[in-house]
Amino acid sequence: MTGSLRATFPAVTLVVGGARSGKSTFAEALVNSTARPRRYIATAEAWDDEMRDRIARHVADRGPGWTTVEAPLDLAEALADARTDEVVLVDCATLWLTNHLLADHDLAGETATLIASLLSCPAPVVVVSNEVGWGIVPDNALARRFRDAQGRLNQQLAATADLAVTVIAGLPLVLKGRLP
């Protein structure tokens, strides 16, 4: 990363919020504010028509000028491929975690690899993640396992981040650090 960008933009930023809170829109605006080449690392997989429509809306909403990398499982490799002059947006850690959970991977090991790759990424990274722990206790073991794993992942991402922002009803609230 160039010295001037490091001075004005955090190395790792976490943007967390509930579903449809405006977190992706805020994260995209944050990345766009740098005027640097933008790399979008997508973790979603289009398993059905509804998800294909969601992905298409995300692509249309963010507009042209993004290099898109699909990495539903291997974020470490995608982050390592980033260039020092870019800013990277990972959207989102929740789908990445879901993909690993459903593949029955070692979530603690995958999380450790992700954290290490964020810290060694040559470009600043903005990670979008969902806050899923404010609702009711899920009624089944898989959903409870996911909720707990998501909470642990968000805590580790926040501890790693230089800037942590929650978005509620489209409004950002800085939890840690300062907005660039």
Candidate list 45, 58, 71, 152, residue with the active-site label: 58
Q: Which residues share a beta bridge with 176? A: 164
The Cα-based distances of 115 to 34, 51, 65, 132, 135 in angstroms read 23, 27, 27, 20, 26
Q: Are 21 and 173 in contact (CB under 8 A)?
A: no
The answer to whether residue 100 is catalytic is no
Residues 6 or more apart from 125 whose CB is under 8 A from it? 11, 12, 13, 79, 82, 87, 88, 89, 90, 118
Q: How far, CA to CA in Å, does 139 sit from each of 62, 135, 136, 145, 155?
A: 36, 12, 9, 11, 23
Residues marked as catalytic: 58
